[in-house]
Amino acid sequence: MTPRFMAAATAIVVLATASTCLAGRLRTAKMPTGSMKPTIAMNARVQIDGNYYKTHPVQRFDIVVVEDPCKKGVEYVKRVVGIGPESIELRDGRVLIDGREIEEPFAQIRADKNFGPFTIPANEYFLLGDNRANSFDSRYWKIKSVAADMIHGKVILKDSDRK
154 is catalytic: no
Catalytic residue among 35, 135, 138, 145: 35
Catalytic residue among 37, 78, 144, 158: 78
Please state, in angstroms and as integers, the Cα–Cα distance from residue 46 to each residue in 23, 41, 156, following that order: 15, 10, 8
Task: List the Cα angle 37/39/40 in 5-degree steps.
Answer: 70
Beta carbons of 67 and 43 less than 8 angstroms apart? no
72 is catalytic: no
Burial zone of 89 (CB within 10 Å; 0-12 exposed, 13-18 middle, 19+ buried): middle
Positions annotated as catalytic residues are 35, 78
